Amino acid sequence: MDINRLQQQMGFLLEIDKLKNILRQTYITNGSRQENDAEHSWHLAMMALTLEEYANEKNINLLHVIKMLLIHDLVEIDAGDTFAYDEKGHEDKQEREEEAANRIFSILPDDQAEGLYSLWREFEDRETPEARFAAALDRLHPMLLNHQAKGLTWKKFDIRKEQVLSRNKTIAEGSEDLWEYAQAVIEDAVENGYLR
């Protein structure tokens, strides 16, 4: 056993525990509190496992999708969660997240650091079928929670239907079926007064 390697891996695992402290703007389904990033990542992994059949590309590598979903928000330990509809926050988001990725993944041994960085970059670039499906789930998830929480976040920030449609239309790149479902959720949210 290489004790130095193991210590680096343990250091990384303890560092990423901080993801539990990063609050998102989205509330959990009962509306009692905000969701944290670790909960979000776990729920996305479960969505991938459950909804794989709706990916546009058949025979995607599900394990690869799940890996991306589990690591995609680790950068928010340093960069913070940028709210989907925060235009100002998105101006330097890429720079903040790149810097965070370099620091956080570098805690690992070089081979694992490179592997996780590559997975994170793949998710961000959305150029593979797996990344597009993972990104589709990442967009769908907060919409589902918002709908179940009667639009708490949408109302808090005065978000309109057009903004939600524009922000989430990329779901179709990973799953036409889930985009069709998402549009129905949006319409229902409008009808119920959860979304203007």
Q: What is the CATH number of the domain that holds 143?
A: 1.10.3210.10
Q: Considering the chain, what is the average pLDDT of its residues?
A: 95
- Residues 39-50 have pLDDT tens digits of 999 999 999 999
Give the least confident one: 69-83, 98-112, 132-146, 170-184: 69-83
Give me 60's structure tokens. Answer: 């995607």
Task: Look at residue 86 and tell me whether its pLDDT is greater than 80.
Answer: no
Task: Look at residue 88 and tell me whether its pLDDT is greater than 90.
Answer: no
The answer to whether residue 196 is domain-embedded is no
What one-character DSSP code corresponds to residue 92?
Answer: S
Q: Compute the distance between CA of residue 10 and CA of residue 13 in angstroms, rounded to an integer.
A: 5
Beta carbons of 108 and 124 less than 8 angstroms apart: no
Mean per-residue pLDDT for 21-42?
95
The answer to whether residue 169 is domain-embedded is yes
Q: With 0-12 CB in 10 A as exposed, 13-18 as middle and 19+ as buried, what is 83?
A: middle
Model pLDDT, residue 90: 75
The number of folded domains in the chain is 1
Helix 62-71 with 110-125: angle, nearest 10 deg: 100
Mean per-residue pLDDT for 55-83?
95
Model pLDDT, residue 24: 94
Tell me how crowded residue 25 is: count the other CB atoms within 10 A of its CB.
Answer: 19
The answer to whether residue 85 is domain-embedded is yes
Task: Look at residue 80 and tell me whether its pLDDT is greater than 90.
Answer: no
93 falls in which pLDDT band (50, 70, 90)? confident
The answer to whether residue 136 is domain-embedded is yes
Sign of the Cα pseudo-torsion (73, 74, 76, 81, in order): positive
Give me 50's structure tokens. Answer: 């459950």
Beta carbons of 41 and 73 less than 8 angstroms apart: yes
Model pLDDT, residue 82: 81
84 falls in which pLDDT band (50, 70, 90)? confident
- Parent domain of 145: 3-191
Mean per-residue pLDDT for 158-186?
96
